[in-house]
Chains A and B, each alone.
Chain A
Amino acid sequence: MSPNAAASLNFRDFYVLAPEMALAAWGLLVLMVDVGLLRGKPNAQRRMTVGWLSLAGVVVSLVVAMLPLLGRYNIGGIAKYLPSIGTDSSKLADPYLFFGTLSGDLLNELFNPLYIVLLGLVVGMSMSWSFTDDWGEYFALLFWSTVGMMFLTAAEELLTLFLALETMTICLYLCTAFEKTRHRSVEGGLKYFVYGSVSSALFLFGLSLIYGLTGSTQFSAIRQALYPESGGDMTGLSGNIAAATAVLLMLVGFGFKVAAVPFHQWAPDAYEGAPAPVTAWIATGSKMASFVALMKVLLNALGPWESRADSVTSPGWIGLVVVLSAASMTYGNFAALAQRNFKRMLAYSSIAHAGYMLVGVAAVGVSERHEESAGSVLFYLVTYAFSNLGAFAIASWLARDTGRDDIEDLNGLGSQHPALATCLTLLMLSLIGMPPLAGFFGKLYMFMEALNETQRAG
């Protein structure tokens, strides 16, 4: 498929982008209401007003984001009220939007509502106590980072992906430093910023090399360019220094974003320093979006560089992913043992989870059943996101009531707040993967996919 052949814009493109546009516009609205109408009002009143307004925005965008999904399955006969061009994207010849820079498929239709639901929970968490004075800016930045995540999930082209990644992380740098009076929050924000922008620069250099080697930034075109004219076999990276450099740089960039060892140093500091709702958003939304983008780049664009077709162990990105995942799982879990701060411990746990998910990514790479394996990673991401968000909700309750967030501060929770203690126990059990909780099934499906590989020779 030549992307330039489909160079026409139509209404469907904008219809599919409606959730992003709604969120971006609502962010502006929240900002203007806070600056214009609530100037000089007491902090608590502004927090609640702006917070409820943001929740209204979440509901509005959730409705908008659900429409394509409802239309796709024609739930309640809704399809006849929706724009007919938008409801049946499976039948359209070209699943790409905006000249092939964005995708508008089932993945986006499912993940957009998910991001919005998670955003709603984060907004609700943020309303529980006053950690800043600038509520309009805070909620607007949360909205815009969500827009970045949605675009990151939808990106089908490296520049779009880079822009979305930056939109997301630049908003998150600022949110991290939002508790301006606390030294730790500001320091966490600066560290996140320095590590994040260095990793963006590395990613960008890798992008420029890939552009040079393939002549395109679009995933499908890169993939076509990488397959040799004759065979269509996977080549791996052996003997191709420029390609190896490019892949390495891109993996370092993504490794920073998903906090995989050895690129994880920012994560504990940013997680501990940031206000608990922001930490929750970095740990869930940003990680989900980065993983989807990582999988899209590695599998859709750079698939031929995975390894040589006859041997999985030959040079290629699959080896790098395996090393990263092994290091993350081991280091993340051991380092978490020594922590005394609750959020810091969760940061190391999220590093370990990134390792597990990288196992899944490697499994998709070698698998013959791409859809099922990729689905298992996505399922793991969703269960991980919700259990982690719950854990950070406990952390934000802890910060509100005690002003501290050490693990010791949880002592006696069972007698004072039995319901909360039960929830925390359930969430922790889900995170370690105890049956019959969701985390167990996430791990089960993913490791089954990894173990069930129809073994290629090698």
Chain B
Amino acid sequence: MSSVASQSPEFPTRRLAVVSSGLSQPSSTRLLADRLADATVRRLEAEGVETEVRLIELRDVAQDITNNLLTGFPSPRLATAIETVTEADGLIMVTPIFTTSYSGLFKSFIDVLDPQSLTDMPVLLGATGGTERHSLALDYAMRPLFSYLHAVAVPTSVYAASSDWGSGADAGQSTLPDRIERAAGELAALVRVSERSTRIVDPFALPNGFSPVGGYGAQ
């Protein structure tokens, strides 16, 4: 899936990674992920920024994630998914809320990432659930997780309960499309100026002050 806008020399193509950890196929989690991605791409398009979207359904790599937890290394397929996420300019992370929090599969995927790899990453957080009662899980579970990882979570996160897919405008209440638009606008603003996908990371960079003879104070 990709969207093409007029090429802007000022802003090279941005990479947006979308992670959906819905378990059924199709899932409402994937539905929300797609709506968030489309809205973000449209916002960037309006700014003249071309965006390449890569979607990862964690269900497809669920076995690989478990194996990585056990062996300590990712299969080639999972390694590709991890690179897609860590080398993006922005992320959309959507999970179902299970038993008051993000799903176990979602957290397991986070657990196989290098904890430093999402530093400075613009992230839009989304969640789905049966009822509105779990919407605060975004703020007490999802948001602290990404704060710990030093990612930049946009202020608006989007929760979609089953009823949201059939609700119209109500006095004083925003609809799901309103919330999607607002969150997408916030993410697009950060992705537009992100340079993450063009960064070159040296995996062998030595820490400052390192000396092979014990530069930590030995003489």
Whether A associates with B in a native complex is: no
Please give the residue numbers on chain A whose beta carbons come within 8 Å of chain B beta carbons, in ascending order: none
Contact residues of B with A, CB < 8 Å? none
